[in-house]
Structure 1
Amino acid sequence: MEKSFSRSSKIAQELKKNIAIIIQYFLKDPRFKIIITISEVIVSKDLSYAQVFVSFLETNEKLNVKKLLTLLNKASGYIRKILCKKLKLRIIPNIIFYHDDSLIKGNRISLLLNKLVRKT
């Protein structure tokens, strides 16, 4: 019988929760004045890498998103250091941040569908 949750998915959930706490409380950089939400964490099978998908509230310019992603990727070593203290894992994965724009795309699709319904 197959397990409903694998080890990597459990670790991904713990990483998601702890990285969100670290970003909110431990990163004191004044450039992180906006709200950062973590939508998903995907951990590789050997637990060496973690892809963290984040979305930013109140950003309209693409330059700001790119700048915030580079800042988060530069702070990933510090975040990993704090994760080493919080989690009792033999291997803490290297963290790579990616932008998750699914909310923006979903809003665009919803607006287009509403326009189509109004026209018919």
Structure 2
Amino acid sequence: MPSRDFKRTDRVGAELRRELGLLVHAAVRDHGLPSASVSDVEVTRDLDWATVWVTTLQPERAAAAVKALNELAGEFRRALSRSMRIRRVPELRFKYDDSVDRGERIEQLLREDGEQGTGNGERG
């Protein structure tokens, strides 16, 4: 029944994403961290580890935000153990999700290319 395992990890990941979103928001406010939000959570099949992908409003401060969140991971895990109905809360690893930054960079390049194309009298 492997399909059942994947559904369970998806459900646990979604619940972790909701709960961690609230906890990270509170930590940003309470600890004066750079503004960060949870974009996704990936849980291993055995539910031992959860990789928490975060985005920040200021990409240059992303490393500081991820470092601070990893330092608070134990507190987050304890809070999750009280709020979630799960036997064992996975260990949390926070990583920076640069997909938004890459998307903005691609969009900027496309706009620049479009402006150059229309500047030569070509249709873009």
TM-score above 0.5, yes or no: yes
TM-score, length basis structure 2: 0.83
Q: Percent identity?
A: 27
Structure 2: gaps spanning 5 or more residues: 118-124
Structure 1: gaps spanning 5 or more residues: none
Larger radius of gyration: 2
TM-score, length basis structure 1: 0.86
1:113–1:10 CA distance, 2 compared to 1 (3 A):
same
Deviation at 1:26, TM superposition (A): 5.4
Question: Match of 1:43?
Answer: 43
CA RMSD of aligned residues (A): 1.7
Question: Match of 1:85?
Answer: 82
Deviation at 1:94, TM superposition (A): 0.3
Question: What is the rounded CA distance, in whole Å, between the counterparts of 1:88 and 1:101 in structure 2?
Answer: 31
> Partner amino acid for 1:14?
E
Question: Match of 1:17?
Answer: 18
Equivalent pairs, count: 113
Give the secondary-structure state (helix, strand or coil) at the position aligned to 2:31: coil
1:26–1:35 CA distance, 2 compared to 1 (3 A):
closer
Q: After the TM superposition, which segments of 4 or more aligned residues of structure 1 sit over 3 Å from their partners?
A: none
Structure showing the higher helix proportion among its residues: 2
